[in-house]
Amino acid sequence: MSLRAAVTEAKRIVVKVGSSSISGPNVGQIEPLVDALSAAHARGAEVILVSSGAIATGMPYLQLDARPTDLATQQAAAAVGQNVLIYRYQESLRRYAIVAAQVLLTAGDLENPTHRGNAQRAMERLIDLRILPIVNENDTVATHEIRFGDNDRLAALVSELIGAELLVLLSDVDALYTRPPHEPGARAIELVPFDDDLAGVEIGDIGAAGVGTGGAGTKIAAAKLAAASGTAVLLASTANVAAALAGEPTGTWFAPRP
């Protein structure tokens, strides 16, 4: 099967978007992201969005110029921002008559068998009802000890939880490169075989500084985690999400475990 067919024929797709892609000056990217998700939904795919951005979205409402460093203020910003973020997604999804559902998880939820089972059952039912689950870490109750650390890992764990065939990790950068893309000689990597340890790749950061927590290293780790559970992974830029979900040649493909 070609990579294009693997994308367009995937029945269950998890898409992860980072804070810097849908907040602050990039808040306008929510609408084209929703356009792409809705197109996949319209062709019959079951789509789950894992969206960061609660803290970054809440910051202006708390008159904060930078991401807070103390846990209590992060929790407060998340409580405000999560509400605004879901409202923005629902307003955009309304154009397609799609209803969103908010699903907030902590690392402890996916480690506790009872909580994990409840989360899985609820998400399966939402998917059956053709609702679009929007998943985020429950920043308001998460602590430093139990946080996922970044939503790339959360997206990989959600993919495993619901048996997704495809995970699309979106960022500010259009692919994984052999070295940080701004450096001379950097080349985009089109395909990462399952058993490739990427030993020759120099890891830099992916994403704008200041609002997100992920980088190239977290995306590679998440992609490897998802691939090990049988989920194919496509690393692409948020600006190219429509092309990515249409199966066009873009980004970096991580082959799943055979």
Point out the annotated binding site for ATP. Answer: 16, 171-172
Contact 168, 15 (CB under 8 A): yes
Contact 108, 143 (CB under 8 A): no
DSSP H helices in the chain: 3-8, 19-22, 30-42, 54-58, 71-93, 107-111, 113-128, 151-162, 216-228, 241-245
Q: CA distances (Å), 35 to each of 98, 155, 162, in order?
A: 11, 20, 23
DSSP H helices in 30-105: 30-42, 54-58, 71-93
Q: Which residues contact 121 (CB under 8 A, 6 or more apart)?
A: none
Phi/psi at 15 (nearest 5 deg)?
-120, 130
Please enumerate, by residue number, every residue annotated as part of a binding site.
16, 52, 139, 151, 171-172
Contact 168, 244 (CB under 8 A): yes
Contact 9, 248 (CB under 8 A): no
Tokens of 200: 């020759």
Distance of CA 210 to the CA centre of its chain: 18
Please enumerate, by residue number, every residue annotated as part of a binding site for substrate.
52, 139, 151
Residue with tokens 């040649």: 249
